[in-house]
Amino acid sequence: MSVQSGETRTDHNGDQPELRRVMGPKLLLLFIVGDILGTGVYALTGQVAGEVGGAAWAPFLIAFAVATVTAVSYLELVTRYPQAAGAALYTHKAFGLHFFTFLIAFTVMCSGITSASTAANAFAGFVNDGFGFDLPVGGAGITAIALGFMLLVALVNFRGVGESVKANVVLTLVELSGLLLVIFIGLYALTRGEADFTEVVLFSSGDDKGVFFAVTAATSLAFFAMVGFEDSVNMAEECKDPCRDFPRMMLTGLGVTGVIYVLVSITAVALVPVGDLSDESKGSALTQVVAAGAPGLPFDTIFPFIGMFAVANSALINMLMASRLLYGLANQDVLPRSLGKVHPVRRTPWVSIAFTTAIAFGLIVYVVRASASSEGATAVELLGGTTSLLLLCVFTVVNVSLLVLRRRPVDHDHFKAPAFIPVVGALTCAFLAGPWARSEDQLAQYKIAGWLLAVGIVLWLATWLFNRGARAKRTGFRDVDSISG
């Protein structure tokens, strides 16, 4: 099939024009960086430091290494199959099991909702910092702000997002400016003798765990800061030359964000005591860092607003992905058709938007209340950790899929990962998805993930029964290439 803009292809919906190939290497790089930057480092730096002490940079560095290995597997797959369907497409081509493909697709969708819910809670924290409300952590005020923010995201999603890639560039620059501000303030504090960089080599664990298991638990949490690179494969059909541009830009984007994360975490522990960084009642971790590093400058009043923009970008991208993926699954007849309804005026999948927003509302209320009623993990930590858990499971399957698909050559040139890459990727992702990679407080992530997947299985079963009984047809994917809606 030719990939030139303006040609048509045939799918189960009839002849459709191909997507415009508008993304060159620079725009693709900004998209990848913008998708990775955001909620993870803005919201979870303090929690990661709480797990390992001053060595908070180590989990981010390990998470970067694990993410890079899996990203290399993705590079071979996306250049083998340059369609905008991602993990579900690779799983289906490898195993051909419709229900398994559905589980992977629904898991990816759930990860978008948990990621956006994490962003909503982080947004509420930055609002609390920026306006000086002094609302108690886990209280009704924080919950109301998070729910109001999620409702606003739903309304923007419903209205439709025009020129979304260009808007992402602007928001990416805002996110990047906030993190560079933290790094520059660290350098400024160093010149004034106010930073204690000896802290960055000190390890401590609040649960008296060994170094290995404490770092592992922190890495499974820090991994949330590196996710996002996998979303870029959904832009494959809109890139001018995906086989040439994706490998260079993906690895460059991961390298840029990895360096920034390590520098931010080093700056944080050098300027603020670890106990304060992980204490949400004292404010967001990076807001504390800015205030401590430049006490005579007004950066601490500006930074929370930068944080709001950063996490808002993450929330919108993830809810867009989740609602469109749910819409695509409904159009494939593997979920109820009602979820695929499109608004006649706005031309957006309004039922899917409402459904994913309702799940996000439930998550926010449940997790905030659960975290407030105990001394365990915070709401942001639980939701961010659940996102990592879901995607680590998906990445394990993706790496195994590549091992299977390597036996089936394709008829065009593509990126080839070293032979050991998918093996190492599958083993490391599977290890970080296990209960041994979590502290006792973080085990609630399995409960959250289990309930989310149970919703999907119930919907699949209801659709299967309806298709079998009322329509006398089988339930399965008609065109997996179009699963992303």
**Does 386 score more than 90 pLDDT?**
yes
CATH at residue 282: 1.20.1740.10
What pLDDT, on the 0 to 100 scale, is given for residue 373? Answer: 66
Question: Of all residues in the chain, what percent carry a pLDDT higher than 90?
Answer: 39
Mean pLDDT in residue range 227-250: 73
Would residue 52 count as lying in a domain? yes
What pLDDT, on the 0 to 100 scale, is given for residue 7? Answer: 37
What pLDDT, on the 0 to 100 scale, is given for residue 167? Answer: 63
Lowest mean pLDDT among 49-53, 126-130, 164-168, 404-408: 164-168
Mean pLDDT in residue range 172-182: 87
**Does 480 score more than 80 pLDDT?**
no
Residue 189 pLDDT level (bands cut at 50, 70, 90): confident
Lowest mean pLDDT among 186-200, 369-383, 467-481: 369-383
Contact residues for 33 (Cβ-Cβ < 8 A; gap 6+): 172, 176, 253, 256, 257
- Structural domain containing residue 380: 19-468
Mean pLDDT in residue range 406-411: 88
**Does 392 score more than 60 pLDDT?**
yes
Residue 238 pLDDT level (bands cut at 50, 70, 90): low
What pLDDT, on the 0 to 100 scale, is given for residue 35? Answer: 76
**Does 231 score more than 90 pLDDT?**
no
What pLDDT, on the 0 to 100 scale, is given for residue 10? Answer: 39
Lowest mean pLDDT among 159-163, 181-185, 278-282, 324-328: 159-163
Would residue 476 count as lying in a domain? no
What pLDDT, on the 0 to 100 scale, is given for residue 484? Answer: 63
What pLDDT, on the 0 to 100 scale, is given for residue 333? Answer: 85
Question: Of all residues in the chain, what percent carry a pLDDT higher than 70?
Answer: 87
Would residue 473 count as lying in a domain? no
What pLDDT, on the 0 to 100 scale, is given for residue 237? Answer: 57
> Average pLDDT of the chain?
84
What pLDDT, on the 0 to 100 scale, is given for residue 15? Answer: 44
Contact 186, 293 (CB under 8 A): yes
Please tell me the total count of domains within the chain: 1
Contact 311, 146 (CB under 8 A): no
What pLDDT, on the 0 to 100 scale, is given for residue 19? Answer: 40
**Does 6 score more than 60 pLDDT?**
no
Nearest to residue 136, comparing CAs of 312, 282, 347? 282
Which residue's entry shows tokens 């409300």? 133
Lowest mean pLDDT among 133-142, 156-165, 199-208, 461-470: 156-165
pLDDT tens-digit readout, 71-111: 999 989 988 887 656 898 899 999 999 999 999 999 999 99
Lowest mean pLDDT among 68-82, 170-184, 204-218, 309-323: 204-218
Residue 4 pLDDT level (bands cut at 50, 70, 90): very low
Lowest mean pLDDT among 10-19, 188-197, 351-360: 10-19
What pLDDT, on the 0 to 100 scale, is given for residue 165? Answer: 55
Interaxial angle between packed helices 444-469 and 98-131, expressed in degrees from 0 to 180 and rounded to the nearest 10: 130
Would residue 173 count as lying in a domain? yes
Which residue's entry shows tokens 């981010």? 60
pLDDT tens-digit readout, 211-223: 888 899 899 989 9
What pLDDT, on the 0 to 100 scale, is given for residue 168? Answer: 65
User: Cα(433)–Cα(435) distance, rounded to whole angstroms?
Assistant: 7
Which residue's entry shows tokens 């799983």? 91
Would residue 3 count as lying in a domain? no
**Does 339 score more than 60 pLDDT?**
yes
Between residues 21 and 330, the one the model is more confident about: 330
**Does 456 score more than 90 pLDDT?**
yes
User: Residue 40 carries which side chain, given as an amino acid letter?
Assistant: G
Residue 244 pLDDT level (bands cut at 50, 70, 90): confident
What pLDDT, on the 0 to 100 scale, is given for residue 374? Answer: 59
Contact residues for 239 (Cβ-Cβ < 8 A; gap 6+): 21, 23, 24, 28, 82, 245, 246
Would residue 477 count as lying in a domain? no
What pLDDT, on the 0 to 100 scale, is given for residue 71? Answer: 92
Would residue 429 count as lying in a domain? yes
Half-sphere exposure of 3 (CA within 13 A, CB side): 15
Would residue 155 count as lying in a domain? yes
What pLDDT, on the 0 to 100 scale, is given for residue 117? Answer: 94
